Structure 1
Amino acid sequence: MEFFFVSVLNGLSYGLLLFLLSAGLTLILGIMGVLNFAHASFYMLGAYLGYALAQHWGFSAALVLAPLLTGLLGAGFEHLVMRPLHRQGHVAELLVTFGLSYVVLELIQLLWGRAPLSFSLPQALQGTSVWMLDLPVSRLFIMAVSLCVLVALWWLLHRTRTGLVVQAAITHPDMVQALGHNVPAVRMLVFGVGSALAGLAGVLAGSTFVTEPAMAGAMGAVVFVVVVVGGMGSLLGAFVASLLVGMLQTLALSWDLPLGSISSARLAPALPFVLMVLMLIWRPQGLLGKQGD
């Protein structure tokens, strides 16, 4: 029974980490209508910035400053690069984000090398037993931070004037512009917030697991699966899909059930993509996406 609960909690922590990453991508997709191929690169950048900041000012400062810096870099990229390309259509925007992912990868390897890095968590987060379960405290910390972000995003989008403007700009940008709101500034704000969320996920993942150049490629494809399964532009859908994918992969790895000549652990990396294919066949708009999205 203990093994079951630990497996479920590990799946929840991984799923909530996926939500942190996919929430930013979902917001950017909703406001700009284009998949940001460089989103996982901001996740990796957040991990490396967190590593650098933690060496000088500690983990707490890295947890706050790295996402802020990543968000500022994302907002600057949207303002200087994405905004001039907006009139040329989504293909140009998609291609430039694809190119940015390679630029970020090369810069990180130039500055920090290709070897994996690790920065230690504070003493309070280094325990390996929670509630008499063999569960690292760091996993519980990831869950707590992710849930706080979920509540904060819901409050900002539904209880503040800025959030209402953002929601309106997603569906009716011309009307919002006609009412006197600065839609380009809203896009820059959302891109910056989305990048900051990716940076926060990077700090949490980089400190809990490992910081390496391959981390963007490892998570990038899974995050796109989450966005497709949850429904394009649906924040709640991204949350549900993140938990579903996190539980699916973690339980397949933990239980390692025999499936003919292979085991579920060997199939675990492919399971999210199988889920995406089934979702595209059964419900192309995703779990909570609107028909025609």
Structure 2
Amino acid sequence: MSGVLLLEQLLNGVQFGVMLFLMAAGLTLVFGVMGLINLAHGSLYMVGAFAAAAVSAATGSFLLGLGAALAAAAAAGALIEVAVIRRLYARDHLDQVLATFALILIFSEGTRWLFGSFPLFLDVPGWLAGPVALPLGIDYPKYRLAVIAVGLAVAAGLFWLIAGTRLGVQIRAGEADREMIAALGVDITRLYTLVFALGAALAGLAGALVGAIQSVQVGMGEPVLILAFVVIVIGGIGSIRGAFVGALLVGLTDTLGRVLLPLAMVHVVGPQAAATAGSAVASMAIYILMALVLVFRPAGLFGKV
């Protein structure tokens, strides 16, 4: 493999990683602060993608589509927190899993009823179309670079929010001792709604950004949700820093594994068998990575023991 191709795949891995971070950050916030297992997080990712595709097609503006994705996902998140999730905090995790799995079915069928069963497509805007010339002779898609930039900007904003604002102090305190901050006068109900809406907005943004790379279709959030859970297990539940590092590790492992493993196995088996076996092993690579992390760091890389 040439050095240029390797660098391109590294950029692809980073782009995949920052997209996973947008998903995992909201998921780890909700679980860390509320102790809630939210299987419907992938549905909010899908809501963002469909909202972006519909508004962008109607207005011709990609930026309006992104704004609609944020607003629709945040509104959907706040609505289900008030209507459903609020009743689950005191219940055990099995009840949470069953209720949020039911929300997956409701969102999927509701989206199919509104938009039909055929996929939608979100066009990359003209000012982000085409490649951009990078050092070492790399021509890389401008849109994918923009996704990386947005992901890094959101990560920086989240770090600032958690570490440098009053809301961040309340979130961290709520994660440590929710009864105490409620006794100190913090409206814990409002805080939970804000956190859930923030996590939903991040998932919606991720869905909108990915919608311009792949098709927007019903059920698109479930495969990404599984990867987001892998990310927060690797990084440590409740840790934004862990979600960021874990997302990059998963993105790079998955992307490079799918490219490098088939090439490496050519030296052991024939080309055709190497392609099949390499792809199979590559699909397991992130789970092998998760298992190795848990062996040495059972709470994740940045999780609290």
TM-score, normalised by the number of residues in structure 2: 0.91
How far apart, in 2, do the equivalents of 1:196 and 1:189 lie? 10
How far apart, in 2, do the equivalents of 1:99 and 1:284 lie? 30
Q: Please state whether the residue corresponding to 1:210 is helix, strand or coil.
A: coil
Partner of 2:152: 147
How far apart, in 1, do the equivalents of 2:168 and 2:66 lie? 24
Partner of 1:42: 44
Tell me whether 1:202 sits opposite 2:207 in the alignment.
Answer: yes
Q: List per-residue Cα deviations over 1:73-131 (Å, max 9, x = no partner).
A: 10111111111232333332232111101111122222223332212111011112332
Contact 1:227–1:238 (Cα < 8 Å) also in 2 = yes
Tell me whether 1:213 sits opposite 2:218 in the alignment.
Answer: yes
Contact 1:26–1:238 (Cα < 8 Å) also in 2 = yes
How many equivalent pairs are there? 291
How far apart, in 2, do the equivalents of 1:85 and 1:287 lie? 28
Partner of 2:20: 18
Tell me whether 1:121 sits opposite 2:124 in the alignment.
Answer: yes
How far apart, in 2, do the equivalents of 1:217 and 1:128 lie? 30
Partner of 1:82: 85
Unaligned residue ranges in structure 1 (runs of 5+): none
Aligned counterpart in structure 1 of residue 180 of structure 2, from 145, 164, 175: 175
Unaligned residue ranges in structure 2 (runs of 5+): none
CA RMSD of aligned residues (A): 1.5
How far apart, in 2, do the equivalents of 1:27 and 1:191 lie? 8
Tell me whether 1:67 sits opposite 2:81 in the alignment.
Answer: no
Name the larger-Rg structure.
Answer: 2
Shift of 1:141: 0.7
User: What code does the residue aligned with 1:11 have?
Assistant: G
How far apart, in 1, do the equivalents of 2:117 and 2:32 lie? 34
Deviates more, 1:266-275 or 1:183-192: 266-275
Contact 1:51–1:119 (Cα < 8 Å) also in 2 = yes
Tell me whether 1:253 sits opposite 2:255 in the alignment.
Answer: no
How far apart, in 2, do the equivalents of 1:289 and 1:221 lie? 19
Residues 254, 134 of structure 1: alpha-carbon distance in 2 compared, 3 angstrom cutoff: farther
Shift of 1:274: 1.9
How far apart, in 1, do the equivalents of 2:175 and 2:191 lie? 10
Deviates more, 1:213-222 or 1:70-79: 213-222
Contact 1:226–1:245 (Cα < 8 Å) also in 2 = yes
Tell me whether 1:267 sits opposite 2:267 in the alignment.
Answer: no
Shift of 1:65: 2.0
Partner of 1:286: 300
Deviates more, 1:280-289 or 1:256-265: 256-265
Q: List per-residue Cα deviations over 1:214-252 (Å, max 9, x = no partner).
A: 421221111111111111111111111100010011112
User: What code does the residue aligned with 1:269 have?
Assistant: S
